[in-house]
Amino acid sequence: MSGHGAVAADAAARLAASLGYALEQVDRISALDVDAARASLEGFRADAAAAAGDAYAIRIWSGRTPEELAEALAGLHARMVTDAPAAGLDVDDETWDAARLARTETELEASGNRILQAVATHVATGEAVAFTTLVLPADGRPAYQEDTLVHAEHRGHRLGMLVKAENLLQLGRLHPGRTRILTWNAEENRPMLAVNEALGFVPVGAEGGWQRRLAAAEGGDGEASDGGGAA
């Protein structure tokens, strides 16, 4: 357990504990009132862009990732499981390439979702080094702030805030009727929570990541259960 956050000691928690699951991590569920946040977005973008300087450029789009960015973006997706805090949860490495990214986006769109993305590229190399994704369900439910990541070699330049502010501005232009966004962050993920809190996300719930360690005789290292993640 990370030592950060808490979940209710309710019937579900007692059931999980009675089955041998340990609470390893707590995610904060947060919501953003997009209308209330709108007035500050240009300022956040300008401040973050000034901190990032000329070394980075921004690309934004709605829908499938442009071919020339797909391989690098897939590489950033693979880093989510290694770079986002996992507390005591055992997390397997993931293999991503342009084909997996295309499959994921195709499935999301086939389910009626709209995808909005923002990426920062490193001007000197042309590589994508930071990304963020918003997913908009078809039926008007709240949008989801999905993964956000800045490559470890490019952190500390406010690129997380920059891509998020750019994508929220894109949301406002393309889908002005979307007024609520939900996201999930590990309670110990201070760098990501700092960005989200500044944007106006407020806590609305908590989600536990539970894991049961199997004895060697049972033939496994452990099994984990939680409700997914976001950024």
Footprint on this chain of ligand COA (rule: CB under 6 A): 83-84, 148-150, 155-161, 185, 189, 191-192, 195, 229-231
Longest dimension (CA), the chain: 58
Closest approach of Cβ 206 to ligand COA, in Å? Answer: 14
Tokens of 50: 């000034």
Distance (Å, whole) CA 18 – CA 35:
44
Closest approach of Cβ 186 to ligand COA, in Å? Answer: 6
CA distances from 138 to 112, 143, 171 (A): 5, 9, 14
Residue with smaller CB distance to ligand COA, 165 or 192: 192
Closest approach of Cβ 17 to ligand COA, in Å? Answer: 25
Residue with smaller CB distance to ligand COA, 177 or 228: 228
| Residues 88-121 as b or e (16 or more Cβ within 10 Å = b) | ebeeeeeebebeebeebbeebeeeebbbbbbbbb
Which residue lies nearest ligand COA, judged by its C-beta?
160
Residues 6+ apart with CB under 8 A from 151: 76, 79, 129, 130
Nearest 5°: the CA angle 222, 224, 227 is 175
Residue with smaller CB distance to ligand COA, 124 or 215: 124
Residue with smaller CB distance to ligand COA, 190 or 220: 190
Residue with smaller CB distance to ligand COA, 65 or 132: 132
Closest approach of Cβ 82 to ligand COA, in Å? Answer: 9
Q: Which phi and psi angles does 74 have, rounded to 5°?
A: -60, -40
Distance (Å, whole) CA 39 – CA 48:
16
Closest approach of Cβ 181 to ligand COA, in Å? Answer: 14
